[in-house]
């Protein structure tokens, strides 16, 4: 993860990811969990299974994206995007208007993108200067954002438009709009490049090919799917109202399991080695740690009040 603007090509980014996966291990992985109701970020040492620090972040932080050099947060109430180093010291910020909520990092090009829930657009922000350099039009109420593993695509889940906007990261031209299920909110790219979109209104996940815009499948999950993570050849979907995580086999798209976690599970992400899936339980004020091979909860870590962790909130060793 780089703060500075750079010209690293997507292939270099993909290579970097491959190295990170090879290095692997949850030992050095750190989770940055936005505690929206208590205005904090919990910094969790996933190797040790404990909270390392809790830092104040005003403005009801929800969106987050992490990397080896630190993390960014989005506070919708104060409309502030902040940049922090890995230890949690703030190193920059930018004030926005509207309704900032979701965030994604285009590390190869030194940019971050933030969704504006109220104004059907994304902000393009220079991650080094922390300055807005442009905006992109989306459908109504964009929420979750993601950048594809190969660095080619940026996608937004446009909740009130029942669609996903797919942007070419090289050109940032007008997006391709892809109709998905009802009220998409969170989304994520599988390692093979397919996009998984959680539809909170229809309780399913749309699987689509970002290049063609074709919806490949629609997979039923639990009540109010919120976020998607990937590990060990499976997708893990947090079901906010069911208090569970649905597990889907990536090869067959068949349901594998539904794992009980805490109350109102939201943000979900996997460690670098894929061995652990971490899900933030908004009502319980914990994260649940799921063994992604055995598909059981192996532990919990306490957080502040109202953990959302809306985004890629785990910094993987070697990022």
Question: Between the CA of residue 151 and those of 10, 183, 190, what are the distances in Å?
Answer: 5, 26, 13
Which one of residues 6, 25, 49, 98 is an interface residue with other proteins (CB under 8 A)? Answer: 98
Alpha-carbon radius of gyration of the chain? 17
Compute the least distance from the CB of residue 36 to other proteins, in Å. 6
264 lies in the binding site for other proteins (CB under 8 A): yes
Compute the least distance from the CB of residue 102 to other proteins, in Å. 11
121 lies in the binding site for other proteins (CB under 8 A): no
Closest C-alpha to 265, from 239, 291, 286: 239
What kind and span of H or E run contains 13?
Answer: helix 10-23
Closer by beta carbon to other proteins, 101 or else 248 = 101
135 lies in the binding site for other proteins (CB under 8 A): no
Closer by beta carbon to other proteins, 62 or else 315 = 62
Closest C-alpha to 234, from 216, 262, 259, 267: 259
Q: Between residue 175 and residue 214, which ones bind other proteins under the rule CB under 8 A?
A: 183, 201
Closer by beta carbon to other proteins, 118 or else 302 = 118
Indicate the SS3 state at residue 70: strand
- Counting residues that bind other proteins (by CB under 8 A) gives 24
241 lies in the binding site for other proteins (CB under 8 A): yes
Closest C-alpha to 195, from 171, 169, 164: 164
CA 228 from chain centre, in angstroms, equals: 8
Closer by beta carbon to other proteins, 13 or else 62 = 62
Which one of residues 189, 282, 287, 315 is an interface residue with other proteins (CB under 8 A)? Answer: 282
φ, ψ dihedrals at 252, nearest 5°: -105, -15
Closer by beta carbon to other proteins, 70 or else 139 = 139
Which one of residues 20, 23, 283, 300 is an interface residue with other proteins (CB under 8 A)? Answer: 283
How far apart CA 261 and CA 286 sit, in angstroms, is 10
Which one of residues 26, 43, 124, 141 is an interface residue with other proteins (CB under 8 A)? Answer: 141
Contact 269, 312 (CB under 8 A): yes
Which one of residues 131, 170, 192, 223 is an interface residue with other proteins (CB under 8 A)? Answer: 223
Compute the least distance from the CB of residue 39 to other proteins, in Å. 10
Strand pairing report for 30-35 and 40-45: antiparallel
Closer by beta carbon to other proteins, 126 or else 266 = 266
Letter string b/e over residues 15-26, b meaning 16 or more CB atoms within 10 A of that residue's CB: ebbeebeeebeb
Which one of residues 31, 101, 228, 287 is an interface residue with other proteins (CB under 8 A)? Answer: 101
Contact 178, 208 (CB under 8 A): yes
Contact 239, 198 (CB under 8 A): no
Binding site for other proteins (CB under 8 A): 36-37, 60, 62, 76-77, 98-99, 101, 117-118, 141, 159-160, 183, 201, 223, 241-242, 263-264, 282-283, 306
């Amino acid at each position: 993860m780089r703060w500075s603007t750079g010209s690293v090509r997507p292939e270099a980014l993909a290579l970097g990811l491959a190295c990170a996966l090879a290095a692997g291990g949850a030992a050095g992985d750190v989770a940055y969990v936005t505690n929206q109701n208590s205005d904090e970020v919990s910094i969790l040492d996933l190797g040790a299974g404990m909270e390392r620090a809790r830092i104040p972040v005003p403005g009801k932080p929800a969106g987050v994206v992490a990397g080896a050099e630190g993390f960014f947060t989005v506070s919708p109430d104060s409309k502030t995007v902040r940049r922090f180093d890995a230890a949690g010291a703030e190193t920059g910020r930018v004030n926005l208007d509207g309704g900032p909520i979701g965030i994604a990092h285009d590390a190869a090009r030194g940019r971050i993108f933030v969704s504006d829930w109220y104004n059907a657009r994304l902000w393009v922000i220079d991650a080094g200067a922390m300055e807005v350099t442009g905006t992109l039009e989306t459908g109504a109420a964009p929420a979750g954002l993601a950048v594809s593993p190969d660095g080619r695509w940026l996608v937004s889940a446009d909740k009130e438009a029942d669609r996903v906007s797919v942007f070419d990261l090289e050109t940032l031209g007008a997006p391709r709009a892809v109709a998905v299920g009802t009220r998409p909110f969170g989304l994520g790219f599988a390692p093979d490049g397919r996009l998984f979109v959680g539809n909170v209104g229809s309780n399913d996940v749309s699987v689509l090919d970002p290049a063609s815009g074709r919806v490949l499948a629609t997979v039923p999950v639990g009540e109010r799917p919120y976020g998607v993570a990937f590990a060990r050849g499976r997708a893990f979907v947090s079901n906010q109202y069911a208090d569970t995580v649905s597990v889907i086999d990536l090869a067959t798209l068949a349901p594998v399991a539904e794992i009980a976690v805490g109350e109102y599970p939201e943000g979900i992400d996997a460690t670098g080695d894929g061995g652990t899936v971490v899900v933030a339980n908004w009502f319980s004020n914990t994260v649940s740690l799921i063994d992604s091979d055995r598909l059981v909860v192996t532990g919990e870590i306490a957080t502040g009040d109202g953990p959302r962790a809306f985004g890629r909130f785990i910094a993987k060793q070697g990022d």
